[in-house]
Amino acid sequence: MLVKDKVAIVTGAASGIGRAIAEALARAGARVVVSDISEEGGHQTVRRITEAGGQARFFKADTSKPADNEALVAEAVARFGALHVAVNNAGIGGPLVPLGEYPIDGWDKVIAVNLSGVFYGMRYQIPAMKAAGGGSIVNMSSILGQVGFRNAGAYVAAKHGLIGLTKNAALEYAADNIRVNVVGPGFVKTPLVEKSLDAAQLKALEGMHPLGRLGEPSEVAELVLWLASDKASFVTGAYYSVDGGYLAQ
């Protein structure tokens, strides 16, 4: 029970990696506020957790809106008494277009969700964690926070920026016993990936990873769980890839 009696927020938890993280935290003893813009998926995540004996509730929030992030933190504190763990996982892919043709509204939306949304989250999570005597924040970047990827300029820029934001927060709040780390998954087998690619494209994507396959959401969740727990008590300001060897090439 690595996070027994801790209170956790997980954004983007209606499916995929976010759902796996919420379930892993709940199995390890946390009380989890599941957040997403998808009410149906969010409630399904909560049902899966509670049917397995865990504690969770759903709170609808759009992470690109500061007020929603403030309300989400307030809900966690009001419902469970404190905030100890926050996983800022919500993100979108955005258009796949060369920079010289990239739609301005597409750029604005990707940055709003993938970068500004994490800042807004931490802006309200950090004071709550200070009040609780400390905590752990895990931000979700990507392998594309370290390298480029043609036609995904907004996503790459946001995920690179998120690593810098994480390091800064880690330095600023280490004295308050708040650890802030960032995880960079490779391509992971989520409903979004499987629906958007055909069999040949999936095979090609698998071949980009030295392990010869896509990651599983649960494999990312295990790393996040460790970072959220006291097992990682001397770890802050760090970037961890979980990428099947992608970045080693």
List 102, 124, 155, 173, catalytic entry: 155
Residue in 60, 54, 23 with CA at minimum distance from that of residue 40: 60
Taking the CA atoms of 190, 164, 242 and 199 in sequence, report the sign of the dihedral they define.
positive
H-type helices in the chain, by residue range?
A: 16-27, 39-51, 66-80, 104-111, 117-132, 153-173, 191-196, 199-207, 217-228
- What do you get for the CA distance between the two ends of the chain, in Å? 36
Active site residue 155: yes
C-alpha span between 215 and 229 (Å, rounded)? 22
Which residues are tagged catalytic? Answer: 155
